[in-house]
Structure 1
Amino acid sequence: MSKTMIWGLGNELYGDDAVGVIISDRLKRTPPADTVVYTCYTVPGNYVYAIKRERPEKLILVDASDMGLIPGDFRRFSIERISDVSFTNHDMPLNLMLNQFDLETFVIGIQPDRVVLGAPLSVKVASAAEKVERILRREGTDEIAPL
């Protein structure tokens, strides 16, 4: 049983929307201790089975999130806040999908600069991705300012 599960969300075709996918792909190469990492792309609902199988204590979702911040800024917020921000939940509302589980769940949202078909990851969001990856590797999510 892993104590932490990380889901990277996003669409690699839309510039900064790929940031969650990029972070999870990097983390999967050498996952932090007691952590299992999934790259969910735009279909997090397909990974609910993993929660049932792995029974983590904590689920961290990482995705681009339009929070009205400066591009590259990132914040931590409760899954219940998804309706309060422009968060791409990609399929069934995540709070409804995940509320059935008894586990600590939160989102690390990264403010995108550009979400345009075919655009590369922006410099500011690429820098944020490196910072968020380092924070996740040392289990320092409490360092991330809440939204």
Structure 2
Amino acid sequence: MLGIGNPLRRDDGAGLWVAERLRGTGWEVIPAGQGVENALGVVRRLAPDLLVIVDAAEMGLPPGSVRRLPVEGAGRMLGSTHALPLPFLLGTVWDAVGKMVLIGIQPADRSLGEGLTPAVQVGAEALVALLRAGDVEAVPPMPLPARADRPQSPPPEPRPGSRGARAPRSPRLSTP
């Protein structure tokens, strides 16, 4: 279990809060904090069958809501407290992990300060109970949000007489 976040920014420390409460319960706990990139070597060495990552995530839900997030779309929901985008970092250990589950907790307050807000603590406690029971799938999924640049319907069929559909473009790096 990889706990992520900044405990000096109130609810942003929810992932670390969960990690601390899973110590000694059969979970291998890696409290990464803000240094996710520093914990990835440990993940690679352990090569777990299941890697659960917990972090605060802006999901547009009531504070304390807990959801399983799609790794490919999570970059838009996770906070900006990470030096590099979390999906990029997790991609570096994808081949060493059997299954990867990213869980977000909706924060209420990311201002400077210590301790979780009451609503986020309730959500984090519920998550700890589910993880202690080994019931990761009981965490409700968060659907990938729609994006303006993603087609909402399948691409049209090729016109008769055309050469067919275009070959897929190769991935390119882009700058913001």
Q: TM-score range by the shorter chain?
A: 0.7 to 0.9
Query: Quick one: percent identity of the two aligned structures?
Result: 32
Distance in 2, Cα, partners of 1:19 & 1:86 = 12
Give the aligned partner of residue 67 of structure 1: 59
The CA deviation at 1:63 is: 1.0
Equivalent residue, structure 1, for 2:111: 116
Q: Distance in 2 between matches of 1:73 and 1:64?
A: 10
Q: 1:126 aligns with which of 121, 125, 140?
A: 121
Displacement of 1:12: 0.9
User: Following superposition, which runs of at least 4 residues in structure 1 exceed 6 angstroms of deviation?
Assistant: none
1:139 maps to 2:134 = yes
What is the aligned counterpart of 1:36 among 28, 41, 61?
28
- Tell me the TM-score normalized by structure 1: 0.87
- SS for the counterpart of 2:129 is helix
Aligned partners of 1:116 and 1:133: how far apart in 2? 24
More helix by share: 1
Return the match for 1:26 from 21, 44, 54.
21
Check the 8 A contact 1:78/1:105 in 2, yes or no: no
What TM-score results when the alignment is normalised by the length of structure 2?
0.73
Distance 1:94 1:125 in 2: 21
Indicate the residue corresponding to 2:70 in structure 1: 78
Structure 1 unaligned blocks of 5 or more: 1-5
Contact 1:31 1:37 in 2 (8 A): no
2:86 alignment partner in structure 1: 94
RMSD: 1.5
Larger Rg: 1 or 2?
A: 2
Taking a change above 3 Å as real, the CA distance of residues 82 and 138 of structure 1, as seen in their structure-2 partners, is same
**Structure 2 segments unaligned to the other structure (5+ residues):** 143-176
Whether contact under 8 Å (2:75, 2:86) holds in the other structure is no
Name the structure with the higher strand share. Answer: 1
Residues 55 and 78, structure 2, Cα contact 8 Å, conserved in 1: no
Q: How many positions carry a matched residue from both structures?
A: 139
| Distance in 1 of aligned mates of 2:16 and 2:38 | 15
